[in-house]
Amino acid sequence: MAAAVIAPVTGEPRLVDPGRPHVGLEDQALTRGDGVFETMHVLDGRAYKFAAHHARLCTSAGIAGLPAPSAQTCRAALAMALDAAGPGSRDTALDLGAEHSVKLSISRGEPGGEPWAWLTVSPVPEQAFAARRDGVSVLLLDRGHDPAEDAELPWLLPGVKTLSYAVNMAAVRHARAHGAQDAVFTTSTDRRILEGATSSVVCARTRDDAAPTLLTPEPSRGILPGTSQARIFDTARRHGWGVDHGPLYPEDLLTADAVWLTSSVRLAVPVTAVDGHEIPTDPVLTRTLTDFLVGSPRG
Amino acid sequence: MAAAVIAPVTGEPRLVDPGRPHVGLEDQALTRGDGVFETMHVLDGRAYKFAAHHARLCTSAGIAGLPAPSAQTCRAALAMALDAAGPGSRDTALDLGAEHSVKLSISRGEPGGEPWAWLTVSPVPEQAFAARRDGVSVLLLDRGHDPAEDAELPWLLPGVKTLSYAVNMAAVRHARAHGAQDAVFTTSTDRRILEGATSSVVCARTRDDAAPTLLTPEPSRGILPGTSQARIFDTARRHGWGVDHGPLYPEDLLTADAVWLTSSVRLAVPVTAVDGHEIPTDPVLTRTLTDFLVGSPRG
């Protein structure tokens, strides 16, 4: 981590020493995963999809019964941290510029205390550059149930990006322990594709004589609405591409012309294999999707 | 919090100032709820069900791919913290002695760093004493799915007491916002009783001419095996009571002679109402179940 800012619910954000401890042992983000977060991409000092991330943070916080810092406070904290963060890291393959990964989190705080927020800025890790460049093999993992069943049950925090991510992390570890590099969740009943452990799933159908069509699972059915997937689809639509939401099954990934895991920092990561079956990648389309993500810095 | 001890994976536990921050902003317990924990009850300096808690901590850690401190290290840390913790709090109704609540947690640590453990000792909160004394009304909340479906899927961390407790906390908040004091999860399909948000569910059938029978949902079916429920059942069985596991439905709670939420610190909390329907309590049985829990200090 290169820089960190702490923002109390009331009061000004303040730069803190990223190398020092800042959290007490009873903080409920620590003891209960009780908080929400967003991860953003910063390129040459500019935050991408800031408005979409701040909106989703506010939605998450609202459902979880937490206050959220204003966009103004978040932008001030981000500027403060970026000033202190140093040069960022550079993807030698894509050469987009100096890149930072930014995490913005809200904790419920200590019992009886006040919620608080923090923002950290780190150089994008080499592992993310490697994933963009070389792609990842994925394992399809049963989510145990269809999260669409949770959608009307607010106490299950459907669609909330909480700090309670232990299962997402366990899924990635399981995939890595079984020869793959990332995990994609499916429903148990009909093996419908849901989402990556920390990403959205997008696939493409291409034809020589027409614009490509992009497909992704329905974001309303209990999965996290992906800000990168949404940005790619909005831009693709403006370019006259076909974009569609709908049920996707393992065979749709195996027969697609290309599949990606999309997320804010890793951008569009090509999927090279599904459950050990190699699938084609499309470097030109991958570059286009990446440009869709980093072509329009603000908003 | 009255006292705290931090234990690195290698090295000795050390007493730390409970009023100071000890956790960095990138610790994965904080940023991902990526860790496991246990809550224990200490009465007059003696830890109850220590072996059962340590065993469950090790099981949780094992499934989550984390190392766990040895029982010896945990006991040393506990003794160190209790020495520093001060007198504890006293339940004026039960008058059991000086009580402490102890939390033992393991974090995966910072990315690229080492897992670590911590232990905190706090006086039992007045809210717990009030729950024992006055009971709680509960709301039945749909868990969205049957956790039995997760039981064979290790990447979903079934039966692991992870730090990712945001949904459990949201369920309690939802119950409180809707006129009840605690939440009990049910399956969505057949409304089978699962467990409390932070407790097990136990109910009793009594007859004038025979020993009572205690019932609880099957612990193997994806719910957390409760150490308090197990201790109550073991002791009840030795006293010649009937004990049984099996499917319980809302009508079983409504027609039971008494229902409790059992957990380590709150002990046996009488349920006074289910979804707004008052149910009977049995103060004599409540006292007996409490004695089952605190009658045998060690092991």
For the beta carbon of residue A13, count every other beta carbon within 10 angstroms: 22
- What average pLDDT does the segment B225-234 reach? 96
Q: Is the pLDDT of residue B189 over 90?
A: no
Average pLDDT over residues B128-134: 97
| Residue A227 to residues A39, A118, B232, Cα–Cα distance (Å) | 10, 21, 49
- Closest CA relative to residue B229, chosen from B202, B211, B204: B202
Q: A165 with B33: CB under 8 angstroms? A: yes
For chain A, give every domain's residue range. Answer: 3-124, 131-294
Say what the pLDDT of residue B8 is: 83
User: By the CB < 8 Å criterion, does B169 face chain A?
Assistant: yes
Q: Is the pLDDT of residue B297 over 70?
A: no
Q: What is the pLDDT of residue B298?
A: 43
Task: Provide the pLDDT for residue B177.
Answer: 97
Q: Domain A3-124 belongs to what architecture?
A: 2-Layer Sandwich (3.30)
ipTM of the complex in this document: 0.95
pLDDT digits (tens, 9 = 90+) for A60-110: 999 999 999 999 999 999 999 999 999 999 999 998 999 999 999 999 999
Q: HSE on the CB side for B242, CA within 13 Å?
A: 13
Choose, out of A26, A31, A127, A138, the residue to mutate when testing the contact with B (most B CBs < 10 Å): A31
Q: Could you say which residues of chain A have pLDDT below 70?
A: 220, 296-299
Closest C-alpha among B24, B71, B13 to residue B47 = B71
pLDDT tens digits, A166-187: 999 999 999 999 999 999 999 9
Is the pLDDT at B97 greater than 50? The verdict is yes
User: Residue A145 corresponds to which amino acid?
Assistant: H
pLDDT of B296 reads 56
Average pLDDT over residues B214-223: 85
Query: What residue type is B23 in one-letter code?
Result: V
Q: Note the pLDDT of residue A299.
A: 45
- Can you count the helices (H) and strands (E) in chain A? 8, 16
* C-beta of residue A223 within 8 angstroms of C-beta of residue A237: no
Q: Which residues of A touch B65 (CB under 8 A)?
A: 170, 173
Mean pLDDT of B57-66: 96
Domain B131-294: state its class.
alpha beta
What sign does the CA torsion over A257, A263, A269, A272 have?
A: negative
Going by DSSP bridges, is the β-strand pair A200-207/A258-263 parallel, antiparallel, or unpaired?
antiparallel
For residue A79, the one-letter residue type is A
With a cut of 70, say whether residue B299 has pLDDT above it: no
Q: Name residue, tokens 């749709």.
A: A252
Residue in A34, A141, A144 closest to B145 by CB: A144
Q: Which residue has the tokens 């095996």?
A: B225
Using the Cβ of B142 and the Cβ atoms of chain A, whether some distance falls under 8 Å is answered with: yes
Exposure pattern of B211-238 as b/e (b: 16+ CB <10 Å)?
ebbbbbbebebbbbebbbbbbbbebbee
Rounded Cα gap, residues A146 and A221, in angstroms: 8
pLDDT at residue number A296: 56
In one-letter notation, the amino acid at residue A215 is L
Position B76 pLDDT exceeds 50: yes
Is residue B184 within 8 A of residue B194, CB to CB? The reply is yes
pLDDT given at position B286: 97
User: What is the distance of C-alpha B192 from the center of its chain?
Assistant: 20
The shortest CB-CB distance from B34 to any of A21, A32, A166 is to A166
pLDDT attached to residue A9: 76
Does any CB of chain B come closer than 8 Å to the CB of residue A35? yes
Across B1-28, b (16+ Cβ under 10 Å) vs e yields: bbbbbbbeeeeebeebebeeebbbbbbb
CB of B90 less than 8 A from some CB of A:
no
